[in-house]
Amino acid sequence: MPPLPIPNAASPQVRRTPEGPQGRLQYDLYIGGEFVAPAGGRYFETTDPVTGEVWADVARGSEADVDAACRAAQAAFEDPAWRGLSASARGALMRRLGDLITENADWLAAVEMKDNGKLIAELDNQMRYMANYYYYYGGLADKIEGSTIPTDKPGVFNFTRYEPIGVVACIMPWNSPLPLTSLKLAPALAAGNTVVLKPSEFTYASLLEFVKLIELAGFPKGVVNVVTGLGHEMGNSLVSHPLVERIAFTGGPEAGRIINEQAARSMKRVTMELGGKSPNIVFEDADLEQAVKGAVTGIFAASGQTCVAGSRLLLQRSIHDDFIGRLVDFLEDIRFGHPSDPQTQIAPISTAPQLAKIEDYVRIAQEEGATLVRGGKRASVEGYPNGLFYEPTIFSDVTNDMRIAQEEVFGPVLSVIPFDDEDDAVRIANDVKFGLAAGIWTENLARGIRMTEKVRAGTIWVNNYRSTSTTSPFGGFKMSGIGREGGIAGIMEYLELKSVWISTNVEIPNPFIRR
């Protein structure tokens, strides 16, 4: 099947992305409601992970561009065109944006596929579902209520109110740019904040196309801004900028630690999702046919490039060998191909550096004594000799102290670890620095409930894996992050709580005594 063409615009209403001097699409920064060239005039190339070909140039922003974006966001925050809107009016704008996403889902999916090589079958679902973030938080915007507090102090009336924080900086990864942006952007806007978005230097196109829909929805200029460029050239200036009040980051733990330390210097609040090393635990009484599918979903869907990847498969010893055999059989006829083909099951790794990292971890696993059961090499896909494809890889004889079991690979690499009983499974599951997600497979309801109480993870699935909803909170324990995204908890991260005291006394009591 030939690759899907990448539309330059969804409809005549959407402004077209221009071509640069090389005849490729050229993406500029989006600041104050306008697409503008970077202050330094520099651009860098981006490649298609399927073909390895350069297809666009992106603005290489600098500290000056970050400053301009933050100032535009602050000006918009103070402007009555945004600050003066009622919460209901903000909600109406967001629902309009949700409608535009639904109308243009095919276009957004095609651009994101070109950007990071994800399966079009999955992207179609993600783009259509993404509208729900804006519907949900748009509906929630005018339902955040303060409280009237019955205090023990006579002569004063006390109530609380929630207010927007101000300028929010959102920093996104490359694996799911638009959905992960929406997890941050939708609640931030619903709360009344303004935003500066910084996508990964590997995946930026879909976000710069998406902001055109924000324009069409009628958001005032400067409410949403996008700066692109290399992390080491822009990250510090964005995180430390004096106008930024909150940082929302999704990415690796090392980058998260650095950002958190920088933010702490000016007491900025942070929300962070930092990945995981999630256990997918299968007991001997599980429905093994469904559990095999759950194991595949957990680690090989999206080529393992997902923060909740069930990269540690914990198998009760009595089913260990049989389950591995079933898993290998299930993967025998796996289909590689172009992500635009609905029949493709395994798409390429999104970036060349990530592919190199996966290869390093496979080598390390073998050096540490793990047994390679299948995969462990690049996949050769007909028609795409330069594609970044990698075989689904399974290691057995893994012990939980190996690096392959402790560190996030972020690729289609599965570590199989045996366990004896519930206590042993819990010990192994919790013996990592992460705590983002976990899967439990058992037909014993009481066991399932016990395990959800004992396993330390922010999301736990029982007899399913990777189910998500905009209505449910998402986040991790330990090194997997700080705060929550999604659900009502998600919008609370972007609000300030204020306590107001109003005197009902005619005369002020003794001013030298605290009441």
Catalytic residue positions, numbered? 273, 307
Q: What's the residue count for the chain?
A: 515
* 173 burial level (CB within 10 Å; 0-12, 13-18, 19+): buried
Provide the greatest CA pair distance for the chain: 86
Which phi and psi angles does 121 have, rounded to 5°?
-60, -40
Please state, in angstroms and rounded to a whole number, the distance separating the CA atoms of residues 109 and 349: 17
Is the distance from CB of 309 to CB of 298 less than 8 angstroms?
yes
From 176, 184, 211, select the one nearest 29 (Cα to Cα). Answer: 211
From 293, 345, 354, select the one nearest 120 (Cα to Cα). Answer: 345
Other beta carbons within 10 Å of 353 = 10
CA dihedral 19, 22, 25, 27 (to 10 degrees): -90
Please state, in angstroms and rounded to a whole number, the distance separating the CA atoms of residues 214 and 195: 12
DSSP type of residue 149: E
**Helix or strand holding residue 478 (H, E):** strand 477-478
Please state, in angstroms and rounded to a whole number, the distance separating the CA atoms of residues 447 and 459: 17
DSSP type of residue 146: -
Is the distance from CB of 15 to CB of 212 less than 8 angstroms?
yes
* 323 burial level (CB within 10 Å; 0-12, 13-18, 19+): buried
Please state, in angstroms and rounded to a whole number, the distance separating the CA atoms of residues 74 and 93: 20
Label residues 137-153 b or e (16+ Cβ within 10 Å = b): bbebbeebeeeeeeeee
Is the distance from CB of 98 to CB of 138 less than 8 angstroms?
yes
**Helix or strand holding residue 164 (H, E):** strand 156-164
Give the bridge partners for 498, in sequence order.
161
Give the gyration radius of the chain's Cα atoms: 24
Give the bridge partners for 437, in sequence order.
459
Side-chain-facing half-sphere of 3: CA atoms under 13 Å: 19
